[in-house]
Structure 1
Amino acid sequence: MASSSTPKYNSNSLESSSIKRTPKDGTKWEQNEEIPRLPGETRVTDKEVIYVCPFNGAVKGRLYVTNYRLYLRSVEIDPVVILDVPLGAIARIEKMGGASSRGENSYGLDITCKDMRNLRFALKQEGHSRRDIFEILTKHAFPQSHNLPFFAFVNEEKFAENGWMVYNPMSEYRRQVLSWIHPENQAVVMRSSQPLVGMSGKRNKDDERYLDIIRDANGQISKLTIYDARPSVNAVANKATGGGYEGDDAYPNAELFFLDIHNIHVMRESLKKLKDIVYPNVEESHWLSSLESTHWLEHIKLVLTGAIQVADKVSSGKSSVLVHCSDGWDRTAQLTSLAMLMLDSYYRTIVGFEVLVQKEWISFGHKFASRIGHGDKNHADADRSPIFLQFIDCVWQMSKQFPTAFEFNEQFLITILDHLYSCRFGTFLYSCESVREKEKVTERTLSTWSLINSEKAKHTNPFYTKELNRALYPVASMRHLELWVNYYIRWNPRIRQQQPNPVEQRYMELLALRDDYMRRLEELQITNNSKISNSSTSSASPSQMMSHVQTHF
């Protein structure tokens, strides 16, 4: 049973998390505009609607649609209710009710989002009010299905930092399948897809020799360790479709371990079950059993456990490892990137984590287009799956267990997930580098890292302590894993939010105070140096001056 306690309610607060005075996503108010707009964002239409809020009831307002967002602003209510949803976060738009519907607010639109919420808008039944807004929303929410560009290609924002400069493929390049080399024992983390053994037990001498070379290069092991992310029964079943696993006859110098991580379809269904118990209402009376029935934390546990085995084998076992699943771009990416995060402190920095995502996920070909369904109206596509979300959840679990080990904070991870869906940036668009090059993504779009690195203070963990060469091994038992409430249940206003964290806020204030003292010290030193510049007396060093400065700490 997981340690996740029942989310706490604040019964006195029914104020929606969507109620806000000012936009928080970098948008700016244009003069005489009723909605905020990004540079390059254009308004398409607007209409009077009733927002059927699951928390506050029916809210009368005006719904605006741009080429980037769906934006509702309430009327006749104080405080004003604001609903601001990037169109890229929409998974499905359905018509609700028919011409003969008579129930209150029973005619309109149902919108399912990719970020754990649903939206419902009631419309007047006169004329073609619903048809028009349905067609416009569908067209702009699913641009790839209507020969329209992603908003990322018309976004005209400017940032102080160029996020595309974070990752240089050539500087990271070693071999096609090499992810990481241990700096001391030279053991490596390799990745691949499954061997194409098939039912007839086909062999490939070059592949067998290649694995022997990897083993020999390590020089400290008799056998190469192979981690197959799949359950063994699935690996056997894959033989029927031409796949399979490394058998002892063909790979006598390798030892194979199955990690029992389920496929994309199981993960998709698990997230659906999780959404059912957290939105719009949290299943409070049977919270633990309901959470357990989703198996979400169980899957998180298996992914973390597998990554721990990979990391420990490389670091403590001093052995090179090969990691694969079926195709090599889902569970494999989860395992290699998490193992690298455990082994290498560089990837726990903000820029290092960005490099990790670029290298292990984007460059190695995780199928973002298929798994997320960017701009595609086919919401029932069997290829959709929350694999990257699961990875970020695992990172969050690690950050909870090691609160000083990561330079980035929770908001950093949430921002990444929000823009995984938003299509505001080009970072997560498409599934492979060849398509990105064809579409000139780095030339024609902005990077998510441009936004984050231009606002680093918002995404920095104030408790971060830089450490070198320290491996982190999180506890992957169900007792130590938690549901990420601030992500999965963030739309529910009844959940008592702890943001901003009072301890973190006070620590930030103390850091600001320290920086202010350091600034004053530098000014005093400059003034002092100028006064004695013509004197033969040497000026005091900063460390000497620092010893005379007292602070509140």
Structure 2
Amino acid sequence: KYAEIHTVSTYLSDLFATKFTSDTRNNEHLYRDPFNDELIQLCPSYPKYCVVPSTITNEEIREAAKFRSYKQFPTIVWRHINGAIIARVGQPEVGWPLRHSKEDENMIQAIINSHNDTLTTNSIESGKNLNRLLILHVGSHDAAIKNYAKYHINCNLEFMTLPDIHAISRNARMLRASNTTQCENWLSELTLTHWLHNLSVLIKAACCVVTNVDEHNRLVIVHYSNGQDHTSPMITLAEIMLDSHYLNNKWF
């Protein structure tokens, strides 16, 4: 499927194919793109192309998706130069019975295995948290999610406590309504919207991802209630901070 690589990519699908093939050339047995029309309908909020471990079948993806909010199954979104991985997934639908999904656990374990297999020699020699999964829940403390994390061996769970989408929308309306250009106390007016606070906690959460991936060689999985609140901007910001292309005076 990815045998033909175009020199100049015209569509996003071509860009993905080029990048995917380039990044996995030496580890092609570890990853694959699972998507077909059936899986696109399964999770319409996901892009057309995703990356999962090659050991996971589409049937396992369908079963794992049943356990995640909005059927957002675990998918790999970044592999760093040291081999460390960032993955995203919908929040587990544990519920009051504290149920769990074997297929979901197998899929997470497969991502852990692929992460360990792609770590570079330098990162292995550093010996920092190589096998310890870090799950970042974007929202506030949740006892059910904390209990579910116990099903993953060698796992740490952290709550980023970012405000929910309703608070963000309310703050955005306050920001649009404020007129800081004609206000003597413009900084106080801006502070009251809580927008600077929202940006601050988002950057702090992204920095947490960057530190664990770049310095500690850890696999980081990010999730929230529906994946459409802070998950995407948090991961995107972390990827920009990790991308060497942007680490120069031109972009910062």
The normalised TM-score by structure 2 is 0.64
Q: 1:227 aligns with which of 123, 133, 136?
A: 136
Aligned residues of 1:215 and 1:222 also touching (Cα < 8 A): yes
Once the two structures are TM-superposed, the CA of residue 208 in structure 1 deviates from its matched residue by 1.6
Aligned residues of 1:212 and 1:253 also touching (Cα < 8 A): no
The one-letter amino acid paired with 2:219 is S
* Residue in 2 that maps onto 1:325: 224
For 2:131 and 2:13, the matched residues in 1 are separated by 36
- SS of 2:109's partner is helix
Once the two structures are TM-superposed, the CA of residue 288 in structure 1 deviates from its matched residue by 1.9
For 1:261 and 1:163, the matched residues in 2 are separated by 37
* Residue in 1 that maps onto 2:166: 265
**Is residue 170 from structure 1 mapped to residue 71 from structure 2 by the alignment?**
no
Q: Give 1:117-266 correspondences, 5 Å limit.
A: 164-165=10-11, 168=14, 169-173=16-20, 174=32, 175-176=51-52, 177-183=75-81, 185-219=82-116, 221-232=130-141, 235-236=142-143, 244=145, 247-266=148-167
For 2:147 and 2:208, the matched residues in 1 are separated by 19
Could you say if the C-alpha distance between residues 272 and 188 of structure 1 is closer, same or farther in structure 2, counting changes exceeding 3 Å?
same
Percent identical residues: 25
The one-letter amino acid paired with 2:80 is H
| Per-residue deviation, residues 252-275 of structure 1 (Å, max 9, x unmatched) | 321111111111111110011112
- SS of 1:322's partner is strand
Structure 2, unmatched stretches of 5+, are 1-7, 21-31, 33-50, 53-74, 117-123, 125-129
What is the RMSD of the two structures over their aligned residues, measured on CA atoms? 2.6
Aligned residues of 2:222 and 2:231 also touching (Cα < 8 A): yes
| Per-residue deviation, residues 222-264 of structure 1 (Å, max 9, x unmatched) | 32011111121xx45xx6xxxx456343223211111111111
* Residue in 1 that maps onto 2:215: 316
Once the two structures are TM-superposed, the CA of residue 328 in structure 1 deviates from its matched residue by 1.8
- SS of 1:215's partner is helix
Aligned residues of 1:197 and 1:245 also touching (Cα < 8 A): no
For 1:262 and 1:246, the matched residues in 2 are separated by 22
| Per-residue deviation, residues 54-104 of structure 1 (Å, max 9, x unmatched) | xxxxxxxxxxxxxxxxxxxxxxxxxxxxxxxxxxxxxxxxxxxxxxxxxxx
* Residue in 1 that maps onto 2:60: none
For 1:213 and 1:248, the matched residues in 2 are separated by 16
Could you say if the C-alpha distance between residues 315 and 222 of structure 1 is closer, same or farther in structure 2, counting changes exceeding 3 Å?
same
The one-letter amino acid paired with 1:284 is C
Could you say if the C-alpha distance between residues 322 and 268 of structure 1 is closer, same or farther in structure 2, counting changes exceeding 3 Å?
same
* Residue in 2 that maps onto 1:457: none
Once the two structures are TM-superposed, the CA of residue 197 in structure 1 deviates from its matched residue by 0.6
Aligned residues of 1:192 and 1:328 also touching (Cα < 8 A): yes
Once the two structures are TM-superposed, the CA of residue 320 in structure 1 deviates from its matched residue by 1.2
* Residue in 1 that maps onto 2:202: 303
The one-letter amino acid paired with 1:343 is L
Aligned residues of 1:226 and 1:254 also touching (Cα < 8 A): yes
Once the two structures are TM-superposed, the CA of residue 172 in structure 1 deviates from its matched residue by 4.3
* Residue in 2 that maps onto 1:153: none
The one-letter amino acid paired with 2:111 is I
| Per-residue deviation, residues 335-358 of structure 1 (Å, max 9, x unmatched) | 111111011134x4xxxxxxxxxx
For 1:246 and 1:210, the matched residues in 2 are separated by 19
- SS of 2:131's partner is coil
Structure 1, unmatched stretches of 5+, are 1-161, 349-401, 407-471, 473-553
For 1:329 and 1:164, the matched residues in 2 are separated by 27
- SS of 2:161's partner is coil
Aligned residues of 2:131 and 2:218 also touching (Cα < 8 A): no
The one-letter amino acid paired with 2:91 is Q
Once the two structures are TM-superposed, the CA of residue 210 in structure 1 deviates from its matched residue by 2.2
- SS of 1:275's partner is helix
Could you say if the C-alpha distance between residues 198 and 165 of structure 1 is closer, same or farther in structure 2, counting changes exceeding 3 Å?
same
For 2:147 and 2:233, the matched residues in 1 are separated by 21
Once the two structures are TM-superposed, the CA of residue 167 in structure 1 deviates from its matched residue by 5.2
The one-letter amino acid paired with 1:229 is V
Select the structure that is richer in helix: 2
For 2:199 and 2:84, the matched residues in 1 are separated by 26
Q: Give 1:418-457 correspondences, 5 Å limit.
A: none
* Residue in 1 that maps onto 2:67: none
For 1:322 and 1:208, the matched residues in 2 are separated by 13
Q: Give 1:283-362 correspondences, 5 Å limit.
A: 284-346=183-245, 348=246
Aligned residues of 1:179 and 1:189 also touching (Cα < 8 A): yes
- SS of 1:247's partner is helix
* Residue in 1 that maps onto 2:44: none
| Per-residue deviation, residues 495-552 of structure 1 (Å, max 9, x unmatched) | xxxxxxxxxxxxxxxxxxxxxxxxxxxxxxxxxxxxxxxxxxxxxxxxxxxxxxxxxx
* Residue in 2 that maps onto 1:126: none
Structure 1 runs, 4 residues or longer, greater than 6 Å off: none
Q: State the number of aligned residues.
A: 181
- SS of 1:249's partner is helix
Could you say if the C-alpha distance between residues 210 and 251 of structure 1 is closer, same or farther in structure 2, counting changes exceeding 3 Å?
same
Could you say if the C-alpha distance between residues 246 and 305 of structure 1 is closer, same or farther in structure 2, counting changes exceeding 3 Å?
farther
